[in-house]
């Protein structure tokens, strides 16, 4: 194994995954290490601001996608578009050899950060409709425009399968477009769970349910998607032990993330594999589970904090700072957007409900903070 260069001049850092966690690591490292060689590898050409994906019901995809080459110029890193796969033995080899081989390209590193996110459950049972991957390629506003152009007298039937936070944010965003265009609609949310938004505080759930009812968005709990029958969708209704068939002009699938933490890490973010601490291999974001302390929920907030913690711990590991606190972040809130004129969530602790204008302002501030971070300005309080 090589010994690490402890002067910042020659430090080589490789980051795989340019989502929230990977970019947070880059931005914090670049501030402290102006002359380090930072390379970022991502399978996509652009960074997608996922927390704003529902905005594409009204705005072009380009508004929430930042070309990684542009960010590479802004933060002075080398960008390589490539998918990287790994397993436990590959991790050990990376720790030992300190390079990643991409076909004919060998990228050496002193520290590697794996920030590849969590895999989303892909929709495989229907030939039509869009899942998260589809909506990152096809702008929802364009899809809605096409539907509305062909709209006759029958109400448009739009079905969202998966009524988690993402499905709900999309339902409100679509409702807003259809209402403004005075299009009659049947907007349905299907979910296999009996209780909507189960991990969230009851008062928040009640607020969302009231708003869904006001906007005439129908929720079908305990409905498990089976497949298609022509243009109809077929569900097992587990509550009544029957089948529900639903006409669909547009189907959107938000089936959640695969509930796997591919990488275990210590509180410095160093990967734990086969009973070893991989001192040169760090991880952050949704692909990581820190075993000691700190929040691991798959949120952008935790991804950004883990990215920042990893950047600091790399500096410590390289001997460039004398000490550094471990990752201890606890979530300070979660706000759900429910249309252009409303939001709801909790701030501080789960008993403090915020809704309406204060919640919208908090959500705006969180998004504005992220925009600033992407310009190199970190104004997070925690």
The verdict on 42 binding ligand FAD (CB under 6 A) reads yes
Q: Tell me if 93 sits within 8 A of 275, measured CB to CB.
A: no
CA angle 172, 177, 183 (to 5 degrees): 110
Q: Please report, to the nearest 10 degrees, the dihedral formed by the alpha carbons of residues 189, 190, 191, 196 taken in order.
A: 30
Reported as type and span, the H/E element at residue 125 is: none
E strands, 43-82, where? 46-48, 65-67, 78-81
CA distance 94 to 280: 8
Among 15, 132, 173, 265, binds ligand FAD (CB under 6 A): 132
Among 115, 126, 157, 189, binds ligand FAD (CB under 6 A): 115
CA distance 322 to 305: 20
Among 41, 160, 278, 354, binds ligand FAD (CB under 6 A): 41
The verdict on 342 binding ligand FAD (CB under 6 A) reads no
Site string (59-88) toward ligand FAD, x via CB under 6 A: ------------------------xxx---
Would you say 234 or 362 has its CB closer to ligand FAD? Answer: 362
Would you say 52 or 125 has its CB closer to ligand FAD? Answer: 52
CA distance 142 to 193: 31
CA distance 14 to 112: 5
Q: Tell me if 380 sits within 8 A of 372, measured CB to CB.
A: no
Min dist. Cβ of residue 163 to ligand FAD (A): 13
Among 110, 299, 329, 373, binds ligand FAD (CB under 6 A): 299
Q: Tell me if 29 sits within 8 A of 36, measured CB to CB.
A: yes
Among 4, 25, 39, 51, binds ligand FAD (CB under 6 A): 51
Among 8, 44, 192, 222, binds ligand FAD (CB under 6 A): 44
Considering only the stretches 173-181, 258-266, 273-281, 296-304, report the one whose residues sit in contact with ligand FAD under the rule CB under 6 A: 296-304
CA distance 212 to 175: 10
Near ligand FAD in 189-248, by CB under 6 A: none
Q: Tell me if 250 sits within 8 A of 143, measured CB to CB.
A: yes
Site string (351-380) toward ligand FAD, x via CB under 6 A: ------------------------------
Among 13, 14, 15, 21, binds ligand FAD (CB under 6 A): 21
Among 4, 12, 17, 338, binds ligand FAD (CB under 6 A): 17
Considering only the stretches 17-25, 212-220, 261-269, 341-349, report the one whose residues sit in contact with ligand FAD under the rule CB under 6 A: 17-25
Reported as type and span, the H/E element at residue 111 is: strand 111-114
Among 38, 107, 212, 303, binds ligand FAD (CB under 6 A): 303
The verdict on 255 binding ligand FAD (CB under 6 A) reads no
Q: Please report, to the nearest 10 degrees, the dihedral formed by the alpha carbons of residues 301, 303, 305, 307 taken in order.
A: -150
CB-based contacts of 236: which residues, under 8 Å, 6+ apart?
A: 223, 224, 226, 243, 244
Would you say 269 or 285 has its CB closer to ligand FAD? Answer: 285
| Interacting residues toward ligand FAD by CB under 6 A | 16-22, 41-44, 50-51, 53, 83-85, 115-117, 132, 166, 285-287, 298-301, 303
């Amino acid at each position: 194994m090589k010994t690490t260069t402890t002067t910042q001049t020659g430090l080589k850092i490789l980051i795989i995954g340019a989502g929230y966690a990977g970019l947070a690591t880059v931005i914090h490292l670049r501030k402290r290490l102006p002359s380090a060689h930072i390379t970022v590898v991502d399978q996509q050409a652009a960074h997608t601001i996922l927390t704003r994906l529902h905005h594409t019901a009204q705005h072009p995809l380009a508004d929430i996608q930042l070309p990684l080459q542009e960010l590479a110029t802004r933060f002075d890193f080398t960008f390589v578009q490539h998918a990287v796969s790994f397993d436990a033995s590959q991790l050990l080899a990376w720790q030992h050899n300190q390079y990643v081989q991409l076909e004919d390209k060998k990228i050496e590193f002193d520290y590697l950060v794996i920030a590849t996110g969590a895999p989303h459950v892909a929709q495989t049972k229907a030939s039509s409709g869009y899942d998260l991957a589809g909506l990152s390629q096809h702008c929802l506003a364009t899809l809605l425009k096409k539907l509305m152009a062909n709209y006759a007298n029958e109400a448009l039937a739009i079905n969202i399968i998966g009524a988690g936070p993402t499905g709900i944010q999309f339902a409100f965003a679509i409702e807003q477009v259809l209402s403004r265009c005075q299009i009659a609609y049947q907007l349905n949310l299907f979910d296999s769970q009996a209780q909507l938004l189960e991990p969230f505080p009851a008062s928040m759930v009640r607020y969302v349910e009231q708003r869904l009812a006001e906007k005439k968005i129908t929720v079908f709990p305990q409905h498990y998607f089976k497949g298609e029958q022509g243009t109809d969708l077929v569900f097992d209704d587990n509550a009544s032990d029957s089948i529900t068939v639903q006409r669909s002009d547009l189907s959107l699938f938000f089936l959640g993330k695969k509930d796997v933490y591919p990488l275990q890490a210590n509180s410095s973010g160093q990967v734990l594999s086969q009973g070893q601490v991989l001192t040169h291999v760090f991880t952050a974001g949704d692909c990581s589970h820190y075993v000691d302390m700190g929040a691991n929920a798959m949120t952008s907030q935790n991804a950004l904090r883990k990215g920042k913690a990893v950047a600091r711990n790399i500096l410590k590991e390289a001997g460039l700072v004398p000490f550094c606190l471990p990752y201890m972040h606890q979530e300070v809130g979660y706000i759900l957007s429910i249309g252009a004129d409303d939001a709801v969530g909790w701030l501080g602790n789960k008993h403090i409900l915020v809704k309406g204008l204060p919640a919208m302002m908090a959500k705006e501030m969180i998004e504005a903070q992220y925009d600033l971070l992407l310009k190199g300005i970190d104004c997070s309080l925690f």
